Amino acid sequence: MEKVTREQRDEAIANFQYEGILTEERPYGSGHINDTYLLVFDVPEKGAVKVILQRMNSDIFTKPVELMENILNVTSYLRERIIENGGDPERETLNVIPTVDGKPYFVDSQGGYWRSYRFITGATSYDKVEKPDDFYQSAVSFGNFQRLLADYPAETLHETIAGFHDTKARFEVFKKAVADDVCGRAASVQKEIQFVLDHEDVANVFGDMLAKGELPLRVTHNDTKLNNIMIDDETGKGICVIDLDTVMPGLAMNDFGDSIRFGASTAAEDEQDLSKVSCDMELFDLYAKGYIKGCGGKLTEKEIEMMPMGAKVMTFECGMRFLTDYLQGDHYFKIHRENHNLDRCRTQFKLVEDMEAKWDTMQEIIKKYS
């Protein structure tokens, strides 16, 4: 993606249905994928009104029109559910601002795709867990997201990234990467390769269950990190799920599992000292409690029972993807040092091993809240 020019930004600003006079604009947030700006307008009788303007990354999201169709459909549906429940639709879901010709996106003269949202005031998203309650609030919020969308026909959504959590297919890609060995790296990572091959059943488990009709297809978020929740500045409660770019049909256990992989690990994703890496059972307990509470009885017994497997599958898949990228020459994940993807893959595999050692505890925790 080329850098955004001043002209492109001005062109985009001129083409959304904004009110008032623009008084401030600046880059916003810590995201690495889209180009995000905060705009402030002075609107008569309303005062300063903030909006978010974003150029979507069409290198990653190659079908931006389908992506925005997903977002518009899901947020419109959420808005109706929130109103029914007596909530505040301005703060509890994203609100898309249309273009002057009524579309949810604008295409600039360089072919860039833009969108705009109303800014959610009086709330903050956190990159790191400052206190355990933040993690709990994110669990309740993602569970609540699942509950509100439980009756949405998931199969009508577009896949914004094809095969995103098709672990079975990713296993085949991994085996090909080992066989091709384009960088001559396979010989030095035989232990890691063997770990993946020994866990083929983990790669297949959910695909097989879905094929047999044992699991329902859900509307899933697919990036359930803490920083995709807005937490109310006054109450400390999670109020809104943001970053809906990867919303598509999926499995509830994968959303749950990705949160555990990222949020219940005792170490950074690229920690080189593996003795520091484990899955914190207190955080696992806290997240399970919040997520199951947020889902409000909308999950099936089988989905709840398979939550520990969701954590294991997502962690294994992520480690396998890091190792695949390492074998292929580090093209997908940005690296900041030699063997960075190898270090990342090792932390994930250590987490999988730790989960296996604590498997009975994880299952007991889930039973406690189901």
Tell whether the model's pLDDT for residue 85 goes beyond 90.
yes
At 212-236, the pLDDT tens digits run: 999 999 999 999 999 999 999 999 9
Judge whether 187 and 158 are in contact, CB under 8 Å: no
Give the pLDDT score at 69: 97
Report which of 196, 224, 183 is spatially closest to residue 307, judged by C-alpha positions: 224
Kindly indicate the confidence band of residue 60, based on its pLDDT and cuts at 50, 70 and 90.
confident
Give the pLDDT score at 33: 82
Judge whether 323 and 341 are in contact, CB under 8 Å: yes
* Mean pLDDT (the chain, rounded): 95
Residues 6+ apart with CB under 8 A from 132: 282, 283, 286
| CATH 3.90.1200.10 in the chain, residue ranges | 132-369
Q: From the CB of residue 129, how many other CB atoms can be counted at a distance below 10 Å?
A: 16
Considering 54-63, 120-129, 233-242, the range whose residues carry the highest mean pLDDT is 233-242
Over range 48-76, report the average pLDDT.
Answer: 95
Give the pLDDT score at 129: 79
CATH architecture entry for 132-369: Alpha-Beta Complex (3.90)
| CATH 3.30.200.20 in the chain, residue ranges | 6-121
pTM of the entire structure? 0.93
Judge whether 105 and 113 are in contact, CB under 8 Å: yes
By mean pLDDT, which of 33-37, 136-140, 324-328 is the weakest? 33-37
Over range 284-305, report the average pLDDT.
Answer: 97
At 158-212, the pLDDT tens digits run: 998 888 889 999 999 999 999 999 999 999 999 999 999 999 999 999 999 999 9
By mean pLDDT, which of 87-96, 111-120, 128-137 is the weakest? 128-137
Q: From the CB of residue 109, how many other CB atoms can be counted at a distance below 10 Å?
A: 8
Homologous superfamily (CATH) of 6-121 is Phosphorylase Kinase; domain 1 (3.30.200.20)
Give the pLDDT score at 259: 96
Give the pLDDT score at 163: 86
Over range 67-73, report the average pLDDT.
Answer: 97
Q: Is 131 left (phi over 0), alpha (psi -120 to 50) or beta?
A: beta
Give the pLDDT score at 130: 81
Tell whether the model's pLDDT for residue 29 goes beyond 90.
no
Judge whether 87 and 97 are in contact, CB under 8 Å: no
Tell whether the model's pLDDT for residue 31 goes beyond 80.
no
Residues 6+ apart with CB under 8 A from 126: 134, 226, 227, 231
Residue that has been written with the tokens 């083929």 in this structure: 200
Q: Where are the beta strands (DSSP E) in the chain?
A: 21-27, 35-43, 47-55, 106-107, 113-118, 123-124, 218-220, 229-232, 238-241, 248-250
